[in-house]
Structure 1
Amino acid sequence: MNILIVNWQDRLNPFAGGAEVHLHEIFGRIASWGHKVTLLASGFPGAKKIEIVDGINILRKGTRNDFNFFVPLTVKEIVRKEEIDILVEDLNKIPFFTPLFMKIPTIVILLHRFGRSIFKETILPFAIYVYVTESLVPFIYKNIPFDVISESTKEDIVMSGIPEERISIHYCGIDIDRYNRGKRNKIPFLVTFMGRIKRYKSIEHLLYAVPSLIKEFPLLKVMVVGDGDDLPHLKKVAASLKILDRINFTGFVSEDEKVRILQESEIVVNTSSKEGWGLTVIESNACGTPVVAADSPGLRDSVKDGFNGILYPYGDIEALSSSISRLLKRPELLKKMQTDAIEWSKKFDWDRSAKGILELLTKRISCEI
């Protein structure tokens, strides 16, 4: 099978997030099973124009700001030269509307829609642009199968107008060789946020909870791990709350450092207003760390309340603080949840999901779906 994927970024891009991890984990496996996989993605400073990563042939064009203008002509050229069997559009952020200019078997992979949450993320003109383009998806992709990563995303796109019978679900997996409990000791009272630093993730909610938590737990330490355009804002919030000495803004970290931090944290917090799934939840769980998460789409799929973490009402700072406090002051509950978190993470397997998506591609090529 000869597969062409179009996504804004590849895994090596400094702005890569869960969508890129998902793409590489799935299609890296499919490539290792003997299929040819090409990924068309945007370039970034220092990036090679052509590179093989995880067995995937990456072709980079343009930048994050103009990549979509390169897509139509480049896709047509690749399809013509490489005899592509199927096109996969990873619908991440702004759609490319490939059905308008390509008439080959196509599927869409969608982690989550922004919907109205885009207005929390960016300036009004761009938010309107994203919102409008997303609203066109049910019409332009009406005959295209969708693959999503959670029940929440499925419900969301059904409400937007995508027929339920055209939607499949394949969950994210976990690399247990990398993400595991290890031998490191937990650092007492270490609470961590890990992920891209974006406005819609509402990370300032964790910062607002810190002053009251410090009163209860004087040794509390907080790490905010990741990079993104909302980082300057978060540092200003921390300064205004006079908690800069308690917060470690790490910026971008390597995969090995990421695993170390998850293994040493007692609790990971996810405050996001919306996720496709919450891959960092399962990564944290595999490292023996429960997650306190907002009861938001995606997160309520990956967190089983009271088992591998605690859900609290999104935006409720007092409930967030209370949930963290509940675990920190009850060592026996924290320890049990750490054990349960590891068991929960074992349910999710990249190989199983990759095989399911490969079957989906095969059925699409043979016109079974």
Structure 2
Amino acid sequence: MNILVLNWQDLANPQSGGAEIHLHEIFGRLARRGHTVTLLCSGWPGAAARAEADGMRIHRTGGRNTFSLAAPAYYRKHLAAAPWDVVVEDLNKVPLFTPYWVRRPLVLLVHHLFGATAFREASVPFAAATWLLERPIPRVYRGLPAQAVSESTADDLAARGLRRSDLRVIHNGVDLEFFSPNPFVARFPEPTFLYVGRLKRYKRIDLAVEAVALLRARGTHVRLRIAGRGDEEPRLRAQVERLGVGDRVEFDGFVTEERKRELLRSCWGTVLPSPKEGWGIANVEAGACGTPAVAADSPGLRESVVHGQTGLLVPYGDAGKLADALASLAADPALVARLGAGGRRFAEGLSWDRAADLTQAHLAEVAGRG
């Protein structure tokens, strides 16, 4: 197949995250299988206009805030004449409204929609713009074949007006060889928990910091490692200082995949307290390493964590309940081991090869109809 993918960013972008990992893991595999994959995405200062990665040809145009305007013009000038078998809009951030300017066959791929959660991250004008841009999705994309990375996202799309029969759920995968337990890597001697990912306000990392402070007040001492970078870091550092837990919370900054794996193997659990995720890939990576996850019982996350089997789910926004969950793991290394083993078993059913197989079959089906 000759496949064109449109996404806001590629993995080399400094702002890349889970959606870009998914993009490269899935479509990189399709490229290596012999399919021709071209990616149209945004650039950043100093980025090359053309590149190649994971077998994909990459075209960059516009920037983080201008890509939705630059992409249609670039497509018409450079890409519209190519014989695409299928075009995929990887909806990340805000929709590109491709049905208005891309010829079909067209597939919509959705990680998650922000909805009202946009107001937890951005300023009111930007949050309102995101919320408003999501409103036309049912009218613009209704009738198109679509992929969702979780049942929660599919339910959200259906609730907004897309036909459930058009939605195919294909869960994210995990690299089971790279993310794996290592019996020679010991856990930290003191109960230590890890947040790994972008430091964004809507991720609600502040709840994890608050939970550490609550536990300290109860006389239960745990540590929190925060690995990642983002514009929420100054606020988090100020919160740590205000709550007096500077000796309990450590900022690791950006970490390589190898360092992330080392932390996942060494920590007693991961923490992801956000109100909404497409899937929660960090939870599954932790499980693959034999480490349980503690996460909010929120859309997406409740699918990547099986409560009592691979980790613990707590009510979103409740720092006290989050503290209770961390305390239960801190007091019971056997529970950590049991949930970690369950996490590995769960992850073993979620390989990237499986996700790529299902994606390839769906795209071939759509291309055949087209």
Q: TM-score, normalised by structure 1?
A: 0.97
Alignment of 1:1-369 (within 5 A): 1-182=1-182, 183-188=184-189, 189-215=191-217, 220-367=222-369
Deviations 1:288-318 (A, max 9, x none): 1100110000000111000100001001111
Note the residue ranges of structure 2 that are not aligned, 5 or more in a row. Answer: none
Q: Which moved more, 1:79-88 or 1:19-28?
A: 79-88
1:256, CA displacement in angstroms?
Answer: 1.1
Deviations 1:202-232 (A, max 9, x none): 1100011112323556652211111112111
- In 2: Cα distance, 1:261 partner to 1:332 partner: 19
Amino acid at match of 2:185: R
Q: Which moved more, 1:187-196 or 1:107-116?
A: 187-196
Q: Residue 284 of structure 2 aligns to a residue in which SS?
A: helix
Q: Residue 76 of structure 2 aligns to a residue in which SS?
A: helix
Amino acid at match of 1:156: D
1:357, CA displacement in angstroms?
Answer: 1.1
- In 1: Cα distance, 2:311 partner to 2:348 partner: 15
Q: Is the 8 A contact 1:191 1:268 kept in 2?
A: yes
1:245, CA displacement in angstroms?
Answer: 2.5
- In 2: Cα distance, 1:178 partner to 1:60 partner: 30
Q: Is the 8 A contact 2:292 2:311 kept in 1?
A: yes
Q: Which moved more, 1:243-252 or 1:274-283?
A: 243-252
- In 2: Cα distance, 1:64 partner to 1:150 partner: 26
- In 1: Cα distance, 2:43 partner to 2:365 partner: 32
1:170, CA displacement in angstroms?
Answer: 0.6
Amino acid at match of 2:360: L
Q: Is the 8 A contact 2:37 2:57 kept in 1?
A: yes
Q: Residue 41 of structure 2 aligns to a residue in which SS?
A: strand
1:76, CA displacement in angstroms?
Answer: 2.1
Deviations 1:336-368 (A, max 9, x none): 112111111111011111111111111112227
Q: Is the 8 A contact 1:222 1:247 kept in 2?
A: yes
Deviations 1:219-259 (A, max 9, x none): 52211111112111111111111112321112221111111
Q: Is the 8 A contact 2:291 2:337 kept in 1?
A: no
Amino acid at match of 1:295: D
Q: Residue 212 of structure 1 aligns to a residue in which SS?
A: helix
Deviations 1:41-68 (A, max 9, x none): 1112332221111111111112112111
Q: Is the 8 A contact 1:78 1:84 kept in 2?
A: no
Q: Which moved more, 1:102-111 or 1:213-222?
A: 213-222
Amino acid at match of 2:131: Y
Q: TM-score, normalised by structure 2?
A: 0.96
Deviations 1:261-294 (A, max 9, x none): 1111111011001001100000011111100110
Q: Is the 8 A contact 1:112 1:153 kept in 2?
A: yes
- In 1: Cα distance, 2:88 partner to 2:340 partner: 37
Q: Residue 3 of structure 2 aligns to a residue in which SS?
A: strand
- In 1: Cα distance, 2:177 partner to 2:207 partner: 33
Amino acid at match of 1:209: A
* Runs of at least 4 residues off by over 4 Å: 215-219
Deviations 1:60-115 (A, max 9, x none): 11211211111101122343343222111001111110111122210011010101
Say what the alpha-carbon RMSD is for the aligned residues: 1.4
